[in-house]
Amino acid sequence: MENGNSLSKPVVPELEKKLLERIKDSEVSLRIMHVCGTHERTIAKYGLRNLLPERIEVISGPGCPVCVTPEEDINIALALAKSGVTIVTFGDMMRVPGSAESLLDVKSEGADVRMVYSIDDAIVLAEKKPELEVVFFGIGFETTVPSNAAALLRNTPENFSLFASQKQTPPAINFLASDTNVDAFIAPGHVATIIGTEPFEPLAENGFPVVVSGFEAGDILLGINLLQDQVEKGISRVDNGYPRAVKPEGNQIAQKIMDRVFETSDSEWRGIGKIEASGLVLRKEFEEKDAAKKYEDLYASALEDVRKKAERKDKKRCICAAILTGKAKPSQCPNFGESCTPKSPAGPCMVSQEGMCYNWFKYARIGGGKLA
Ligand code: SF4
């Protein structure tokens, strides 16, 4: 079994010890949801669930970008790749199965699928290889959207387009607040660095204590304690537990660039369904760069083909949908650690370092999987 850390007992530094003592001194019980793959990795890697008192439960929501990218979008990318278009995307995205197969599968059959680290790499490829039709399959949250927008504001080659499968975090949290049995939320610090703390206010107005947290173990422990403080005082507000990076107003330059290029749309989240106003699509003035428009006809026929194949495929039962909404834990999945491992993922939550199943598997020995 793969393990990223051979320690059997976490070593707790002084600051974290003090924060833990404060958490344990409080009698507040909380079921807290975070919505960030990096938070999940820190929690699992440092065995934080093992250190917290039983009355504090921390569950993971939909914070892993490849986990929430809908099957249908992956199917479209697959169809484009099979038609001869060059699909470029992040490495993790290549391994996530659509309805029937992954981009890596079709690459092994000869399709032109390439890994990049950013949209800029994809543009450079299009410039160097004008004979290719290059589509960047852009996924992710408000953290990656500004760089996509900035790239499109520059002159890009004619043979380049963007297939945007981008998400906005606050609408998803608001949706989950009404659907999930959760008392409080930890909001992602990197997203708040861009959008600020204000978009999380409606959640607090609806009675949910919220804290914006950074990504060190101490940041998360501080966040939990700030949430306890709110409950003890009988209030709900948005606390900024990551002031070294997050300003209340966020990064206004990044917001302007995003707004210039993208507009809000409804969006499908894998395992959750459609969430109102939670997506970002290209504005009309950028439709020449919009792969969804450029390959409209191809989508329809190719998608039909992919769907038929998907219906024939005997899919392994994957409970990522329940995991992403805090209704189940990875250890409740019959495939976990058996037919589904990071080397051979059967579902999206096992693919990325930000996926909950991946982290529970990788850090099992030090307590990544407590609360099973
Ligand atoms: S262990 Fe694998 S199959 Fe099970 S929920 Fe996680 S990703 Fe899906």
Task: Give pLDDT, residue 4.
Answer: 37
Smallest Cα–Cα separation from 266: which of 176, 178, 172, 348? 172
Smallest Cα–Cα separation from 291: which of 100, 159, 172? 159
**What residues does each domain of the chain span?**
67-165+251-312
Using pLDDT thresholds of 50, 70 and 90, give the confidence band for residue 84: very high
pTM for this model (two decimals): 0.87
pLDDT tens digits for range 115-162: 999 999 999 999 999 999 999 999 999 999 999 999 999 989 999 999
Task: Give pLDDT, residue 98.
Answer: 85
CB 332 within 8 A of CB 372: yes
Whole-number Å distance between alpha carbons of 218 and 142: 24
Q: Which of 102, 316, 319 to mutate to test the pocket of ligand 1 (most atoms within 8 A of CB)?
A: 319
Using pLDDT thresholds of 50, 70 and 90, give the confidence band for residue 308: low
- Measured by CA distance, the residue closest to atom 3 of ligand 1 is 318
Residue 22 CA to ligand 1 centre (angstroms): 35
| Total residues belonging to the chain | 372
Q: Which atom of ligand 1 is nearest to the CA of 333?
A: 4
Task: Give pLDDT, residue 122.
Answer: 97
Residue 47 CA to ligand 1 centre (angstroms): 21
Ligand 1 near 61 CB (within 6 A): no
Using pLDDT thresholds of 50, 70 and 90, give the confidence band for residue 367: low
pLDDT tens digits for range 259-285: 999 999 999 998 888 999 999 999 999
Task: Give the DSSP per-residue string, 147-185.
Answer: HHHHHHTS---TTEEEEEEEE-HHHHHHHHHHHS--SEE
CATH class, range 67-165+251-312 = alpha beta
- pLDDT at residue 1 tops 70: no
